[in-house]
Amino acid sequence: MKKGKLLLRGSIKMFCGFILLGLLLFGTAGTYYYWNAWIFLLTLAILMISMGGFLYLEFTL
């Protein structure tokens, strides 16, 4: 698979995952002012993006 296509598919899947997780967290809370969910999503995003970038660079060389 080409690098660009792999990066695009991975980015779309990660974005959709964040949207679904956000809907799950904020939907059950009933508000967007649930600060624990924002901290969780931010931490998860930082870790997933950094790990995804590492794996992309490590295994596509």
The model's pTM: 0.79
Distance CA 43, CA 7 (A): 21
Give the helix/strand (H/E) hosting 57: helix 35-59
Q: The tokens 């600060």 sit on which residue?
A: 35
Output the tens digit of pLDDT for each of the chain's 61 residues.
677 888 899 899 999 999 999 999 999 999 999 999 999 999 999 999 999 889 888 876 6
The domain limits of the chain are: 18-59
Crossing angle of helices 3-29 and 35-59, in 10° steps, is: 170
